[in-house]
Amino acid sequence: RYKMKMFKRGLVLCMFALMSAAVLAQDKEYIVNGTEWLDTEGNVINAHGGGMLKVGEYYYWIGENRRDGVFVSCYRSKDLMNWEFRGHLLTRDSHAELDKANIERPKVVYNKKTGKYVMWMHYEYGGNYDKARAAVAWSDDIEKPFTYVKSFRPFDNMSRDCTLYRDSDGTAYFLSAARENYDLILYKLTDDYLDVKEQLLTLWPGGHREAPAIVKRGKYYFLMTSGCTGWAPNQGKYAYAKSLTGPWSELKNIGDNVTFDTQSTFIVPVEGKKQTSYLYIGDRWDGRRYFNSKYIFFPLSFHHDTTKELHNVEKVKIDVKAGKIN
Ligand code: GAL
């Protein structure tokens, strides 16, 4: 009788395990903002303050991990909804300078000339925010550990929240918050993208903008930023320009006064066969419990070439083939 009971119990457990595996294996058809997102193995996704780039048919999502001495992790997806973990790109052991570092807002671009993936990020050390440096790393393979190059202050400027942008002519730019986050400074990178070549301009001096994200649509570059209130959300703003070096428009509000409880980190053009849509990636930070922070994907729409609108939706369905986001 006891054996029978144990057998039945075993059977039930097996069925439960099989059912859970089936649920995990099933592709998500939409994602729900504000909830915990799991990768295809059922683990929580760690890619905060991240960026994306497309390589072949995959979108790669690379962002802050912060667990167990890992700084930057890599995921990939064909549909922007089901994410497969591919590896850790930068850890405490990658370089002596990283032993007690804090790495934020990593962004990666591909350099066609050198065949290397280059990562720029915000570097701090020892639990403070006083180093205010940029850091650079590279890899031949986007899924494999990156080689750390250095941390430094570009042209001696402080450098905190940042982004990286590669233009269609192959020139890459780094934009970061300087002078205690009062200024946003745009730099042109060297041809190998491993250093800054030129300090180009200061955007809205004294404007106190951070969390920059750049996207180009038609003739215009758009730059989205947040104000400076730490982990707490605030009014997102954007500006547009025909050239990255300006002149830039005035900053205009986007979303509500807390950007629908998000802070900008990246904008992905989803290029389908017939149309291109734009996906806003924001962080819904939990400053007290960092790992409780959520990722938010919102559709971003454009009107009359220069006006853009963020849509506060709970469920997001992305059709990459059609280039549609609902
Ligand atoms: C935010 C910034 C984050 C992080 C945080 C720390 O404003 O965008 O990346 O640095 O402050 O308080």
Kindly report, residue by residue over 187-206, the tens digit of the pLDDT.
999 999 999 999 999 999 99
**How many Å apart are CA 103 and CA 100, to the nearest integer?**
10
Kindly state the average pLDDT of the residues 89-99: 98
Q: Whose alpha carbon is nearest atom 8 of ligand 1?
A: 211
Kindly report, residue by residue over 61-83, the tens digit of the pLDDT.
999 999 999 999 999 999 999 99
Q: Whose alpha carbon is nearest atom 11 of ligand 1?
A: 230
**24 pLDDT higher than 60:** no
Report which ligand 1 atom has the smallest distance to the Cα of 104: 9
Contact 162, 140 (CB under 8 A): no
Taking CB atoms and a 6 Å cutoff, what residues make up the pocket around ligand 1?
Answer: 49, 104-105, 161, 210-211, 228, 230-231, 263
Q: What is the pLDDT of residue 12?
A: 63
Contact 205, 186 (CB under 8 A): no
Which two three-digit tokens encode residue 284?
A: 């819904």
Report which ligand 1 atom has the smallest distance to the Cα of 229: 7
CB-count exposure of residue 214 (10 Å: 0-12, 13-18, 19+): buried
From ligand 1's centre to the CA of 184, what distance in Å?
15
Gap between the terminal Cα atoms of the chain: 56
From ligand 1's centre to the CA of 204, what distance in Å?
19
**How many Å apart are CA 166 and CA 215, to the nearest integer?**
10
Q: Whose alpha carbon is nearest atom 2 of ligand 1?
A: 230
Kindly report, residue by residue over 277-286, the tens digit of the pLDDT.
999 999 999 9
Kindly report, residue by residue over 53-66, the tens digit of the pLDDT.
999 999 999 999 99
Q: What CA dihedral angle connects 178, 181, 185 and 187, to 10 degrees?
A: 60
**266 pLDDT higher than 60:** yes
**How many Å apart are CA 47 and CA 88, to the nearest integer?**
11
**How many Å apart are CA 24 and CA 41, to the nearest integer?**
7
Whole-model pTM? 0.93
Kindly state the average pLDDT of the residues 246-250: 97
Upper half-sphere CA count for residue 118 (Cβ side, 13 Å):
29
Which residue, among 102, 49, 41, has the nearest Cα to 71 in the 3D structure?
A: 102
Kindly report, residue by residue over 143-153, the tens digit of the pLDDT.
999 999 999 99
Q: What is the pLDDT of residue 26?
A: 78
Kindly report, residue by residue over 309-321, the tens digit of the pLDDT.
999 999 999 999 9
Kindly state the average pLDDT of the residues 12-41: 78
Per-residue pLDDT band at 132 (split at 50, 70, 90): very high
**How many Å apart are CA 62 and CA 117, to the nearest integer?**
12
**How many Å apart are CA 114 and CA 63, to the nearest integer?**
23
**181 pLDDT higher than 60:** yes
**How many Å apart are CA 16 and CA 309, to the nearest integer?**
44
Per-residue pLDDT band at 118 (split at 50, 70, 90): very high
**18 pLDDT higher than 60:** no
Per-residue pLDDT band at 268 (split at 50, 70, 90): very high
From ligand 1's centre to the CA of 160, what distance in Å?
9
Q: What is the pLDDT of residue 15?
A: 65
Per-residue pLDDT band at 9 (split at 50, 70, 90): confident
**16 pLDDT higher than 90:** no
From ligand 1's centre to the CA of 257, what distance in Å?
18
From ligand 1's centre to the CA of 212, what distance in Å?
12
